[in-house]
Structure 1
Amino acid sequence: MSEIQTPLDAFLKWERETPNKIFLKQPVKGKQITYTFLEAGIEARKIASYLVSLNLPKRSHIALLSKNCAHWLMSDLAIMMANHVSIPIYPTLNDASIKQILEHSESKAIIIGKLDNFKSQKEGIPNIQKISIDLYGVNEGKLWEDIINKGEALTEIQTINIDDLHTIIYTSGTTGSPKGVMHTIRNFSESISVFNGAVKIQDNPSFFSYLPLAHVAERMAIGTMGFYKGAEFSFPESLETFAKDLERCQPHSFFAVPRIWTKFQEKILEKFPQKKLSFLLNIPILNSLIKKKLKQKLGLARAQYCFSGAAPLASSLMEWYKTIGITIYQAYGMTEDCILSHCNLPGANKIGTVGKTWPNTKIKLSEEGEIRIKNPCMFKGYYKAPDITANVFDDEGYFKTGDKGEYDHDGFLTITGRAKDEFKTDKGKYISPSPIELELSKNTDIEQICVVGTGIPQPIALITLSELGRAKSKEDLSKGLTETVNQLNPSLEKHEKIEKVVIMKEDWNVDNGLTTPTLKVKRNSIEKIHQQFYKSWFEMDDKVIFE
């Protein structure tokens, strides 16, 4: 990879060497549209040529609003070819949030791709140059298809300065307004270089891209890594076809967030209740057949690596996956450090931890246990926010993550909580909710958890139900949740013991603003809605309360 300096160099190498190999597979209405490296290269060059023809200022900011699809990656390539800077936007954001990012980033143009409800987002786009894609039912500004049919391909791709700004990634943010994290091209290539040295993914793998490419983890570990490895990308057509699309793809590497791993487990347990599954796995002749069948059905039969990130994954869930032959490697990284922080890997995988530090990464813990990091691909600051940038680095240039952690004697890091998530009960004692939430998540009736307790004597757990939980009677649910709390409480400090479990009426999701696009619970938003009820819930007689 020495001659490959940039993600664009990597793509051009595969286009040159394997022009007729399938690069992108896009499902539309049940059919697969495919693009070879050569075909994708031609489309990207034509879009790049159109961007150049707009005579925008050098290194302009070009926004990209789309779900993961073939055109997201072609747009990314086109923006690089035109020597501009990409501004990816989460496809689930509302019009006000889209407007805020477009205005703050000073985007001069936007590519609008595959979206679930563009009508509701349209008002958020100011009067800037627009390219839209008719294939996905969007007709705004200039049509992608018209550019491809009538336009000329860019003949000369400018030499890119590796230290130029490559992208501004707006954090999904569990608190406050999103911040624009600035990364150079070198940051991306450095991160991939280290990742590629440690994770031995074959050339020309199959990748399945479904977590938002606007998020750094998917952009790096799947999107950019795919450019370097000459991957064949597949995408889900919709939520309804997700399982079928993943099963058809059978990717060689798979990245998921805890909510996805929980959902997969839920689906398996619907068909094979735990007693039945355990019985079948205990029969030697059936054991390997059952594992093979489950992995095939999940779409993970070929997966050399299964990663989990974005939030802590319960050890019990990882152990459960091991029983069906799937090893999950938990990783830890942030938008700011270009995800180069910690990771479990084959031969060095300790369940319950986020692994050891990557090569070239320096870590220290502050007196309060905050994780601080320095690496060769650290972000160049928050866009137009020098004061905030200055505040997140300490005197030695280490980035203050806001996460707390502990190392064991083998050098594996365990995340013990997030400093900002800590709350104080009216007894004046601080509580870190994350470890408690992880323990509660062992109960498969629970989908999401937020342990709270500001202004009441003991913490309470707000939860949403999984499909398994919803199928149960109130009596059975109450019994199971009470048992879980009774098993957990003796291991907690007196001030940490859970007093009540409150079952929420509605799910927490992106649409109602209660999770981030990567499905992390937005604690502040949940507290804002429910804090007024904490005292009355606490005073109720029942241990389990149905909101």
Structure 2
Amino acid sequence: MRGIQDQLAHRAKQTPDQRYLSQPIEREWHTWTWAEAFDEARRMAAALERLGLEPGDRVGLISRNCAHWVLADMAIILAGLVSVPVYPTAKADTIRQILEHSGCRACFVGKIDQAAERLAGVPAGVTTIAMPYPDTGGDRSWDELIEQPAGDFQPRKRGEEDLATLLYTSGSTGTPKGAVHSFSNFAFVGRTLPTALGVEPGDRVFSYLPLSHCTERAYVEAASFYAETSLYFAESIDTFAEDLCHARPTLFGSVPRLWKRFQLGVLEKLPPEKLDRLLRIPLVSTLIKRKIKKRLGIDQVRWFASGSAPMAVSLLEWWDRVGVTIREGWGMTETFAYGTQIGLDIEPRFGTISRALPEAELKVSDEQELLIRCPCLMDGYYKADELTTESMTEDGFFRTGDRAFIENGWVTITGRVKELFKTAKGKYIAPVPIESLLARNSWIEMACVLGSGMTQPVALVQLADHAPDDRAQLTRQLESDLGRLNRDLEPHERLASLIVVSETWEVDNGLLTPTLKIKRDVIEAKYNDLVARAGDAGNQVHFED
């Protein structure tokens, strides 16, 4: 089995003319074959050595997804260095904490919003290398460094158990922790995932979920080193739809919040009642499904996926009705995103996160916590031995923090262990299943159920853009939906009220993680007074403003 360093050279030799990377820059598409990508990465690896970096040194990566993110990572691998990806949406203090904690000596910087503000967090003494995109800057420029040929540069060999990358968690429960992953772990996910999922030569992937996160790094980048896939990127958020249609991917994954937004985009053009009526007419139904997928740019996709957080069954069923069958998967930063998923040969079971991937062992503890052991499990948390010990069982399983049950191999997540809260009645409530039921309302984009110490829980909801402006109409519909939802819940779970918030929950305002999961503790603290006022008002539906 080839290690990841050897595999890069092998791909460049075996498929030199295959298109590998496609990147729009100022609306012109630039492409790299495997031979061209490998040559550019070798030149950058040689340049990193000229800057004084030695095998084992840490190098940061801060940028939105782009071709040069992958080229930079290839260069880091070939030079035997250690990559430290940082979310491009991270604040300056988080960037500083990660780069200092990991001991980075250099850092690639690329497509970043509010770059000056964020990059103020780069510590003094860390050499920044600017990727060749408009409005990027650094101590050295990409084009300047790769001008010189690689000459006789050869990959600086590292052992399979040597450190390859530090993957920092998204910080949903505090300061990001650095998961230690070896070259062996990196290679394992790259080799194993394409076979497990049924990836075929020539498959196209549109890379837009953060490459700094383990899932995109494993399923997209690492897999592309071993499978003959081509990667496409978006130039900006504004050009996302156009660039997706250009790529016309054959494999496509997203996260629940974006699947919801894609759905809302469809419903803005085809109201639910009209769409339902058209889908009941056989011939028209086929045409409508084809039109929806083509307009989104996903008409050639063979395999759809979702991850990051549990997806509402109602949303999965809605997409299935329009011809988009989504397979939910699960993994963690600590497992290099490896855990559960299924290929095209297995029908999904909505409401589950699929089945264990090859060589992944899963079980549930007496406390209903999901435990995992796999070949790509991290070697521990960087500089946190005590935390590493606490996260492992005596028989070598990682404590995931997810509550789950397993039935005939199918795994269902019911929430996070730490998300359970107890009401004033002494009853425990898991918020995630209730939030999934709220997602059946197409006017509700996101929800957060709270209620620790309260008589009954409540739900904070963020409305979709297409929700009606008529407050009376909106109130009547939400009250009706709340009544139906409560009939499906146990008495202690029933919601006392829905509280409509006015502020949009985003990464930049600290209410979502970079992977678009809600920061429950931050939201609870922010809206504590609003929840108390709503309870005093006694209304079933309460508006923040």
What's the TM-score once normalised by structure 2's chain length?
Answer: 0.97
Cα distance between partner residues in 2 of 1:173 and 1:137: 28
Counterpart in 2 of 1:54?
A: 51
Residues 440-474 of structure 1: per-residue CA shift (max 9 Å, x gap): 111111111110012321111001111122x4421
Letter aligned with residue 248 of structure 1: H
SS of corresponding position for 1:93: coil
The worse-fitting range, judged by mean Cα deviation, of 441-450 and 275-284 is 275-284
- 2:399 is matched with which residue? 400
- Give the counterpart letter for 2:399 in structure 1: K
Which SS does the other structure have where 2:104 is aligned?
coil
**Residue matched to 1:498:** 495
Per-residue CA distance 1:291-319 (angstroms, 9 max, x = gap): 11111111211111101000011111111
* Alignment-mate amino acid for residue 483 of structure 1: S
Find the counterpart in structure 2 of residue 161 from structure 1.
Answer: 159
- State the 1:54 CA deviation: 2.2
Pairwise CA distance, 1:19: 2.1
- The Cα shift of 1:142 comes to 0.8
The amino acid that maps onto 1:401 is: T
Distance 1:499 1:435, change over 3 A: same
Deviation digits for residues 314-354 of structure 1, max 9, x if unmatched? Answer: 11111111111111001111111222222244324111111
> Percent of aligned pairs with the same residue?
38
Q: Distance in 2 between matches of 1:444 and 1:280?
A: 18
Who is 2:411 aligned against? Answer: 413
1:79-137 residue CA offsets vs partner (Å, 9 max, x unmatched): 01111000000000111110010110110111111112211112101121221124232
1:304-453 to 2 correspondences below 5 Å: 304-345=302-343, 346-408=345-407, 410-453=408-451
Structure 2 CA distance, aligned partners of 1:427 and 1:451? 17
**Partner SS state of residue 329, structure 2:** strand
Provide Cα deviations, 1:61-87, integer angstroms capped at 9, x if missing partner: 100111100100000000011110000
Distance in 2 separating the partners of 1:130 and 1:300: 37
In the alignment, which residue of structure 2 is the partner of 1:535? 532
CA contact (8 A) 2:130 2:139 kept: yes
Find the residue that maps to 2:89 and give its secondary structure.
Answer: coil
Q: Structure 1 residues 544, 70: closer, same or farther in 2, change over 3 A?
A: same
Q: What is the SS of the residue equivalent to 1:486?
A: helix
Amino acid corresponding to residue 40 of structure 2 in structure 1: E
**2:26 is the alignment partner of 1:29:** yes
* Worse-superposed segment, 281-290 or 218-227: 281-290
Maintained 8 Å contact 1:456/1:535: no
Matches within 5 A, 1:177-326: 177-326=175-324
Task: Answer whether contact 1:45 1:78 (CA < 8 A) is retained.
Answer: yes
User: Are the aligned partners of 2:205 and 2:220 in contact in 1 as well (CA < 8 Å)?
Assistant: yes
Asked if the contact 1:115–1:136 (Cα under 8 Å) also holds between the matched residues in 2, the reply is: no
Q: Does 1:66 align with 2:63?
A: yes
Q: Is the 8 A contact 1:67 1:212 kept in 2?
A: yes
Residues in 2 aligned to 1:150 and 1:182: alpha-carbon distance in whole angstroms: 33
SS state of the match for residue 414, structure 1?
strand
Kindly provide the amino acid, as one letter, of the partner of residue 372 in structure 2: I
Unaligned runs of 5+ in 1: none
Q: CA deviation at 1:260?
A: 1.1
TM-score, structure 1 length as denominator?
0.96
Q: Look up the match of 1:458.
A: 456
**AA aligned opposite 1:398:** F
**Matched ranges for 1:36-51 at <5 A:** 36-51=33-48
Answer yes or no: is the 8 Å Cα contact 2:381–2:387 preserved in 1. Answer: yes
The C-alpha deviation readout for 1:168-223, integer Å capped at 9, x for no partner, is 01100211110001111111222233323321111132110000000000100111
1:524 shift after superposition: 1.0
1:151: Cα distance to partner?
A: 5.3
Contact 2:189 2:222 in 1 (8 A): no
The match for 2:93 is 96
Inter-partner Cα distance in structure 2 for 1:18 and 1:466: 46
Q: Given that residues 456 and 538 in structure 1 are in contact (C-alpha distance below 8 angstroms), is that contact kept between their aligned partners in structure 2?
A: no
Displacement, 1:154?
5.8
Residue equivalent to 1:521 = 518
AA aligned to 2:444 is: I
Q: Deviations over 1:342-389 (max 9, x none)?
A: 224432411111112122121221111111111111110000000000
CA distance, structure 1, for counterparts of residue 325 and residue 471 of structure 2: 35
AA at the equivalent of 2:202: N
Comparing 50-59 and 324-333, the one that deviates more: 50-59
C-alpha deviation, 1:411, in angstroms: 2.2
Q: Distance in 1 between matches of 2:542 and 2:201?
A: 53
2:181 match: secondary structure: strand
Cα pair 2:308 2:330 within 8 Å, conserved: yes
1:87 matched to 2:84: yes
Structure 2 gap segments, 5+ residues each: none
Mapped contact 2:364–2:370 kept (Cα < 8 A): yes
- The alignment partner of 1:468 has SS state of coil
Is the contact between residue 429 and residue 495 of structure 1 (CA under 8 Å) also seen in structure 2? yes
Aligned equivalents of 1:11, 1:302: Cα separation in 2 = 28
Q: Aligned partners of 1:540, 1:263: CA distance in 2, in Å?
A: 32
CA contact (8 A) 1:131 1:144 kept: yes
Q: Is the 8 A contact 1:42 1:153 kept in 2?
A: no
Deviation at 1:529, TM superposition (A): 1.1
SS of corresponding position for 1:480: helix
Conserved in 2, the CA contact under 8 Å of 1:456 and 1:534?
Answer: no
Which amino acid in 1 is paired with 2:360?
T
Match of 2:104 among 97, 104, 107: 107
Amino acid at match of 1:270: E
**Which residue identity does 2:195 align to in structure 1?**
G
CA contact (8 A) 1:26 1:234 kept: yes
Residue 427 of structure 1 aligns with an amino acid whose one-letter code is K
Matched-pair contact (CA < 8 Å) for 1:453–1:534: no
CA contact (8 A) 2:43 2:148 kept: no
In the alignment, the residues of structure 2 paired with residue 173 and residue 226 of structure 1 have an alpha-carbon distance, to the nearest angstrom, of 27
